[in-house]
Amino acid sequence: MKDLLIGLDLGTSSVKAGVFNRQGRALALAGRPLAVTVPHSGWAEQDPRAWWQGACEVLREVLRNIEPTRVAGLGLCGQCPGHVLVGENGEPLHPAIIWRDQRAEAEVDWLLEHTSPQQVQSWLETRFVADPSLPPARLLWLKCNRPEIWARTRWVLQPKDFLGLKLTGVAGTDSNSAYSLAHPRTRQYPVEFFDLMGISPDLMPPVLEDVSAVLGEITPEAAGQTGLIPGIPVVVGTIDAWCDNLAGGVLFHGQAVEVAGTSEMVSMAASPQQGGEGVFLARIGEQAHFVVGPAQVGGETLCWLARGFYPEMSGTPDFEVLEQSARKVPPGSEGLVFLPYLSGERAPIWDAHARACFIGLTLAHGRQHCTRAAYEGVAFSVRHILETCEKATAARAEQIVVCGGGSRSRFWNQIKADVLQRPVRPAAIAESACLGAAILASVGVGVFGRLVEACREMISLLEPVLPDPRTAEVYRKNYQVYLAAYPALKGLFQNLFLGE
């Protein structure tokens, strides 16, 4: 009986796998950490071989007590955008450039000089491709700076699509992962744009018709390394954050979904026509549209706290100690507000020059105040994005579903509930990207007919964390300081960045 589904999530800090039944209950979960290499300032790379080794290990682990003949399908998801150059044999030729890499600044200038927003809109249905984190600039950098490797390249793949190739022997991707390279509706790579860049579209993998489409089947070679059996269908899947949102119930109106991970992300269900300044319209196949705003940091703020404020942690955050420290300070951090722009900021301000700062520091404040203010600052960021999503959709979220690793912090959930003054409800499955990938697999292999049906059956939530009305006023005042801080400091951030 083929009644189980696997979700495989290739994140930045780890690769994870989960086995789920058709009710969404996790029968087995496993993860392996991944390292990020920073060869130069602004660069960020990972070893694709480590991705594959980690994927094989977590798949073997989750199948240890599972009969693999019960697996109906496997869904993929992963960090994006990233870039893996592979040769004819499917093996990587170069370290993978991952999403946070900013090296391609000169190529951004070239794109701005040689393309217009109107051209880009006609090619890709977006006016924005000139950014060092997006594929066009990255591909130009690789072509110009790694010419010998570029000449040997057969495919340029996104991270999860590299795993798809290793599992099935088939190269393919989805329209979300092909953002800024392929037209989202025709799924074709615009020849005029690629000719301008001097890049052959033949290096790009085919864009499948839907995120739940079957990429291929597990090969005998992959079966031997993973513990799967040959012939299991592999669904192409999509971006890990999109699967997080799916597993949080973003299809359902009346609630927002917050993904609490290395960075934060907030989304709400929308119509295909909705969108707004500061957030953007996204989709999961043709069945689910939502507006979404990603922050640049979230849980990573705690890693920064550990490095800078808690030398006894040796750079690795002890979350229990951090929370105990923050609990010593009352809500509002006794007048201290933290702007969490530690690595610039994405939604809703989209300013790479923005910088973090504490506002209101006095001699009376200690590291425990800075710690609580950092937790609160991320919660203010969530509120800022949520309010932007609500403006774009002309709707109000009556509750916020929180998923991802951060959803397991009752302390942080309480702060978010108090800052938002709305219930925060954790998803039952913290590994939400794995669950989202398994949901896509369930539709791709026919366990369910539609995504909404699969979500109703496979998503479950824990009891809500309710807001404390006694905190409403202090958080309202501090949030107003938070909102006013960036416009007041924006010019100074520009001067800091330019060294003037």
Render pLDDT for 53-77 as a digit per residue (tens, 0 to 9): 999 999 999 999 999 999 999 999 9
Q: Are residues 318 and 230 in the same domain?
A: no
Q: Which of 241, 272, 306 is the last residue of a domain?
A: 241
With respect to residue 462, please indicate whether it lies within any of the assigned structural domains.
Answer: no
Domain membership of residue 11 as a residue range: 4-241
With respect to residue 440, please indicate whether it lies within any of the assigned structural domains.
Answer: no
Q: What is the pLDDT of residues 330-348, one digit of tens each?
A: 999 999 999 999 988 989 9
Chain-centroid distance of CA 425 in Å reads: 20
**Confidence (pLDDT) at 283:** 85
Round to whole Å and give the CA distance between 259 and 243: 10
The least confident of 273-277, 318-322, 326-330, 470-474 is 273-277
CA angle 286, 292, 295 (to 5 degrees): 145
The least confident of 127-131, 168-172, 382-386 is 127-131
466 in Cβ contact with 421 (< 8 Å): no
- CATH number, position 196: 3.30.420.40
> Could you tell me which residues are beta bridge partners of residue 260?
264
With respect to residue 20, please indicate whether it lies within any of the assigned structural domains.
Answer: yes
The least confident of 17-26, 36-45, 454-463 is 36-45
**Confidence (pLDDT) at 284:** 87
Q: Are residues 270 and 229 in the same domain?
A: no
Q: Mean pLDDT score of the chain, rounded to an integer?
A: 94
**Confidence (pLDDT) at 287:** 67
Q: Are residues 235 and 260 in the same domain?
A: no
Q: Are residues 62 and 135 in the same domain?
A: yes
Round to whole Å and give the CA distance between 116 and 101: 24
Q: Which of 241, 259, 293 is the last residue of a domain?
A: 241
With respect to residue 41, please indicate whether it lies within any of the assigned structural domains.
Answer: yes
Question: Which DSSP symbol is given to 351?
Answer: B
With respect to residue 485, please indicate whether it lies within any of the assigned structural domains.
Answer: yes
Round to whole Å and give the CA distance between 180 and 197: 13
Q: Are residues 230 and 368 in the same domain?
A: no
Mean pLDDT across the stretch 392-400?
A: 95
Rg of the chain, C-alpha, whole Å: 22
**Confidence (pLDDT) at 30:** 98
Q: Are residues 104 and 155 in the same domain?
A: yes
Kindly report the backbone phi and psi dihedral angles of residue 59, in degrees, each rounded to the nearest multiple of 5, phi listed first: -65, -45
Q: Are residues 170 and 48 in the same domain?
A: yes
Q: How many domains does the chain have?
A: 2
Round to whole Å and give the CA distance between 80 and 70: 30
End-to-end CA distance of the chain: 67
Q: Are residues 16 and 134 in the same domain?
A: yes
Q: What one-character-per-residue DSSP string does 33-99 give?
A: E---B-SSTT--EE-HHHHHHHHHHHHHHHTTTS-GGGEEEEEEEE-SS-BEEE-TTS-BSSPEE-T
Q: Is the pLDDT of residue 215 over 90?
A: yes
Q: Which of 212, 241, 270 is the last residue of a domain?
A: 241
Whole-angstrom CA distances from 445 to 74, 143, 170, 317 are 9, 38, 17, 41
Q: Are residues 282 and 390 in the same domain?
A: yes
Q: Are residues 38 and 57 in the same domain?
A: yes
- 328: Cβ–Cβ under 8 A, 6 or more apart, which residues? 368
Q: Are residues 58 and 17 in the same domain?
A: yes
Strands (E), 390-496: 399-403, 424-426
Round to whole Å and give the CA distance between 455 and 451: 6
Q: Are residues 295 and 197 in the same domain?
A: no
